[in-house]
C-alpha cells in the first residue's frame, strides 16, 4: 500500500534539492575557473570544438533554409534607409524597384558576389566566400558570429574577414565546416589602423554598442597628431597578414575628442560595414589555398 | 520513460538554441533576441519543479556557453539558468498554473537570468557594456520573453506534463 508523504519525506526531498543545487552551482564555478582565459589554451577548447562541429552544420542548414525569407527583410530595410536621402538616390531607387519586379534575391546575391570579387581584386588577396549563419545574442555582451566556412574551405584562426564594404573581423576558431568570427566592434577587438589622409598609425578598439550602432575608438601612436573628421581609416596590417591584412577600409572619423587624463587625442570611427545586416563575407586566405568551394583569387577570377 | 523525458527536454533545448542564434537574429531589436532556452527552462520548472529545471538549466546554459558563436567564459549562462530553474521552480503549483503566474514567472526569470549573466561578467572582468546598454538589454530581453510566452510556454508545458511520471502528479 502506498504511504502518504510525511514530514520526514519532505525534509529528505528538501535536503536532496539543496545538495543538488550546491553541486550544480559548484559545477558552474568550476567551468568558469577552468575557462577563465578562453582561447587556444583553455581546457574547454575541445568541448567548444565538438559543439562547433555538431552545431555548425545545424546552424548553416537553418540559416540557408530561411535565407530567402530574411532577404526580403534586408531589401525593405535597405529601402527605408535610402529614403533618408531620397533626392540623391532616386535613380538608384527606381532601379531597385525594377529589381523587385524581377528576381530580387538572386540579383542582390549576384551584386554581393560581384562586390566581393572586386574587393579581392583591389586588395590583391584571395578570398573564401562565406555566409553568416548565426549571431551571438546581445544578451551575451560580445559581438561574434558564425560563418559557414571552416578548415575544409581553407579557413584558419587569425585570418581577416571582410565584405565588400570593409573590415568585418577576424577568425577566432574553426571547425571543419564553420568558423567563429570576432567582429571589430567587440570591446575585446583591437585593430591596427592607419589614417588615410595623414598616414599616421594607431589602434582601434571596439566600443561594444548594440545592433548596428557599433562604433570604434581610434588612438594614434603619435599623440600630437589629431585625425580630422571625415578621414578614412584602413588597416595597418601585421606580419604575414595575421590577424589583419593591410589596406582594408575600416571606417570614417565621425568625432574627435581630447582625453585630458592621457593627454592624447581619441577619435570615434563609424565602421563602413553594417553589422546589423551581415550576410556574405570573405575570408582572406593565402593564394592557392586548397578549398572545398570556389575561391575568389587575387585577380578577381573564380577558381 | 526517464530516458525519453530527458531526450525530449534535451531536444527542446537544442531547438531553442538554434532559434536563438540562427533564426531570430534576423528580427532582433539591436541584436537582443528572445531567450528561448530560458523559456524552456521556465516551462520545465513550472511543470517539474526546481530539481529537474535546475539540471536542465545547467545543460541549456552549457550549450549556450559552448556552441558557436559563443566566446565568453564557459559556465556563465549555465550559472544564470541554474538560478532561473531554481527560482522558477519555487513557483510551481500542484494544480494547473494560472496564466498570470506563468507570465510573471517568465518576466522575473528573464530579469534574474540576464542579470546573473551580466553580474558574472563583471566579477570575471569580461565586457558587459555601459550601464545604459545593460539596462536596455535586460528590459528588451524581458519584453521579448513575455511577448513570446503565450506562443511557446503552453505547448512546451503540455509536452513536458504529458511525459511526467504518473506517480509525480
- The CATH number of residue B151's host domain is 1.10.1760.20
Asked whether residue B54 is assigned to any structural domain, the reply reads yes
CB contact under 8 A, B73 and A32: yes
Asked whether residue A258 is assigned to any structural domain, the reply reads yes
Q: CA end-to-end span of chain B, whole Å? A: 15
CB contact under 8 A, B33 and A21: no
Across A76-93, average pLDDT = 58
Asked whether residue A160 is assigned to any structural domain, the reply reads yes
Q: Name the domain count of chain A.
A: 1
Q: Which residues of B touch A135 (CB under 8 A)?
A: 21, 25, 28, 31, 33, 69
Nearest-Cα residue of chain A relative to residue B115: A139
- pLDDT value of position B70: 84
Q: Which residues of B touch A28 (CB under 8 A)?
A: 58, 61, 75-76, 78-79, 82
- pLDDT value of position B169: 45
* pLDDT tens-digit map of B71-90: 888 899 999 999 999 999 98
CB contact under 8 A, A146 and B68: yes
Q: Name the domain count of chain B.
A: 1
CB contact under 8 A, A139 and B32: yes
The answer, for B159 touching chain A at a CB cutoff of 8 Å, is: no
- pLDDT value of position B155: 92
Angle between helical axes of B99-124 and B131-162 (0-180°, round to 10):
130
Asked whether residue A12 is assigned to any structural domain, the reply reads no
Which residue's entry shows cell 581584386? A121
Q: Which residues of A touch B45 (CB under 8 A)?
A: none
Based on the number of CB atoms within 10 Å of its own CB, is A18 exposed (0-12), middle (13-18) or buried (19 or more)?
exposed
Across B47-76, average pLDDT = 90
**pLDDT greater than 90 at residue B143:** yes
Distance CA A96, CA A289 (A): 37
Distance CA A138, CA A143 (A): 8
CB contact under 8 A, A142 and B63: no
Task: Tell me how far the alpha carbon of residue A180 is from its chain's centroid.
Answer: 8
Asked whether residue B11 is assigned to any structural domain, the reply reads yes
Asked whether residue A159 is assigned to any structural domain, the reply reads yes
Asked whether residue A212 is assigned to any structural domain, the reply reads yes
Task: Tell me how far the alpha carbon of residue A108 is from its chain's centroid.
Answer: 21
Task: Tell me how far the alpha carbon of residue B11 is from its chain's centroid.
Answer: 14
CB contact under 8 A, A172 and B71: yes
Asked whether residue B167 is assigned to any structural domain, the reply reads no
Asked whether residue B131 is assigned to any structural domain, the reply reads yes
Asked whether residue A179 is assigned to any structural domain, the reply reads yes
Asked whether residue A303 is assigned to any structural domain, the reply reads yes
Distance CA A226, CA A219 (A): 9
The answer, for B99 touching chain A at a CB cutoff of 8 Å, is: no
Which cell numbers in the block locate residue A204? 582601434
Shortest distance between the Cα of A106 and any Cα of chain B, in A, equals 19
Contact (Cβ atoms closer than 8 angstroms) between residue A201 and residue A219: no
Shortest distance between the Cα of B158 and any Cα of chain A, in A, equals 24
- pLDDT value of position A4: 61
**pLDDT greater than 50 at residue A1:** no
- What does the DSSP assignment read for B111-156? HHHHHHHHHHHHHHT-----HHHHHHHHHHHHHHHHHHHHHHHHHH
Distance CA A59, CA A61 (A): 5
Across A101-106, average pLDDT = 58
Q: Which residues of B touch A174 (CB under 8 A)?
A: none
Which cell numbers in the block locate residue B124? 570575471
Note down the domain range covering A111.
44-303
CB contact under 8 A, A58 and B18: yes
Asked whether residue B169 is assigned to any structural domain, the reply reads no
* pLDDT tens-digit map of B18-53: 998 888 887 887 778 899 999 999 999 999 889 999
The closest alpha carbon to B58, from B34, B31, B40, B32, belongs to B40
**pLDDT greater than 60 at residue B55:** yes
Note down the domain range covering B26.
2-162
CB contact under 8 A, A62 and B23: yes
A7-21, A26-40, B111-125 — which one is most confidently predicted on average?
A: B111-125
CB contact under 8 A, A28 and B58: yes
Asked whether residue A32 is assigned to any structural domain, the reply reads no
* pLDDT tens-digit map of A173-213: 898 889 999 999 888 888 888 888 788 888 888 887 666 66
Helices (H), A154-296: none
Nearest by CB: A31 against B69, B74, B117: B74
Distance CA B19, CA B122 (A): 27
The answer, for B156 touching chain A at a CB cutoff of 8 Å, is: no
Q: Which residues pair with A164 in a beta bridge?
A: none
**pLDDT greater than 90 at residue B113:** yes
**pLDDT greater than 60 at residue A230:** yes
- Which range (A60-69, A102-111, A181-190, A201-210) has the least confidence? A102-111
Shortest distance between the Cα of A24 and any Cα of chain B, in A, equals 7
Asked whether residue B23 is assigned to any structural domain, the reply reads yes
- pLDDT value of position B107: 95
How high is the mean pLDDT of chain A? 79
CB contact under 8 A, B78 and A59: no
Q: Which residues of B touch A208 (CB under 8 A)?
A: 127, 129-130, 133
Amino acid at each position: 500500500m502506498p504511504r502518504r508523504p510525511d514530514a520526514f519525506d519532505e525534509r529528505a526531498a528538501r535536503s536532496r534539492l539543496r545538495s543538488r543545487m550546491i553541486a550544480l552551482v559548484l559545477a558552474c564555478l568550476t567551468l568558469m575557473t577552468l575557462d577563465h582565459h578562453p582561447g587556444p589554451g583553455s581546457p574547454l577548447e575541445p568541448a567548444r570544438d565538438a559543439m562547433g562541429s555538431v552545431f555548425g552544420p545545424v546552424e548553416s542548414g537553418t540559416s540557408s533554409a530561411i535565407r530567402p525569407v530574411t532577404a526580403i527583410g534586408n531589401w525593405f530595410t535597405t529601402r527605408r534607409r535610402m529614403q533618408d536621402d531620397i533626392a540623391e538616390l532616386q535613380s538608384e531607387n527606381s532601379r531597385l524597384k525594377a529589381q523587385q519586379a524581377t528576381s530580387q534575391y538572386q540579383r542582390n546575391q549576384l551584386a554581393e558576389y560581384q562586390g566581393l570579387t572586386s574587393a579581392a581584386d583591389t586588395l590583391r588577396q584571395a578570398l573564401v566566400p562565406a555566409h553568416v549563419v548565426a549571431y551571438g545574442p546581445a544578451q551575451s555582451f560580445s559581438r561574434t558570429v558564425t560563418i559557414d566556412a571552416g578548415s575544409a574551405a581553407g579557413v584558419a584562426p587569425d585570418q581577416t574577414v571582410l565584405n565588400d564594404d570593409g573590415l568585418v573581423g577576424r577568425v577566432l576558431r574553426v571547425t571543419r565546416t564553420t568558423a567563429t568570427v570576432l567582429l571589430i566592434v567587440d570591446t575585446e577587438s583591437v585593430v591596427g589602423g592607419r589614417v588615410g589622409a595623414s598616414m599616421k598609425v594607431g589602434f582601434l578598439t571596439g566600443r561594444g554598442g548594440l545592433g548596428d550602432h557599433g562604433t570604434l575608438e581610434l588612438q594614434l601612436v603619435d599623440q600630437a597628431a589629431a585625425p580630422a573628421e571625415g578621414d578614412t581609416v584602413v588597416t595597418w596590417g601585421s606580419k604575414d597578414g595575421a590577424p589583419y591584412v593591410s589596406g582594408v577600409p575600416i571606417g570614417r572619423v565621425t568625432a574627435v575628442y581630447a582625453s585630458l587624463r592621457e593627454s592624447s587625442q581619441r577619435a570615434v570611427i563609424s565602421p563602413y560595414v553594417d553589422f546589423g545586416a551581415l550576410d556574405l563575407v570573405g575570408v582572406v586566405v593565402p593564394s592557392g589555398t586548397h578549398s572545398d568551394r570556389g575561391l575568389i583569387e587575387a585577380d578577381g577570377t573564380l577558381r | 520513460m526517464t530516458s525519453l523525458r530527458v531526450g525530449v527536454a534535451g531536444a527542446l533545448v537544442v531547438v531553442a538554441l538554434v532559434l536563438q542564434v540562427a533564426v531570430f537574429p534576423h528580427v532582433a531589436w539591436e541584436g537582443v533576441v528572445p531567450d528561448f532556452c530560458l523559456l524552456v527552462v521556465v516551462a520545465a520548472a513550472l511543470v517539474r519543479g526546481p530539481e529537474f529545471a535546475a539540471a536542465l538549466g545547467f545543460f541549456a546554459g552549457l550549450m549556450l556557453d559552448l556552441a558557436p558563436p559563443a566566446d565568453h567564459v564557459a559556465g556563465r549562462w549555465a550559472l544564470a539558468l541554474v538560478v532561473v530553474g531554481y527560482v522558477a521552480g519555487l513557483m510551481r503549483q500542484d494544480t494547473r498554473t494560472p496564466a498570470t503566474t506563468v507570465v510573471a514567472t517568465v518576466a522575473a526569470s528573464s530579469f534574474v537570468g540576464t542579470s546573473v549573466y551580466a553580474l558574472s561578467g563583471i566579477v570575471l572582468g569580461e565586457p558587459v557594456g555601459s550601464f545604459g546598454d545593460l539596462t536596455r538589454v535586460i528590459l528588451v530581453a524581458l519584453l521579448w520573453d513575455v511577448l513570446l510566452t503565450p506562443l511557446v510556454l503552453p505547448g512546451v508545458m503540455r509536452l513536458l506534463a504529458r511525459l511526467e511520471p504518473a506517480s509525480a502528479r
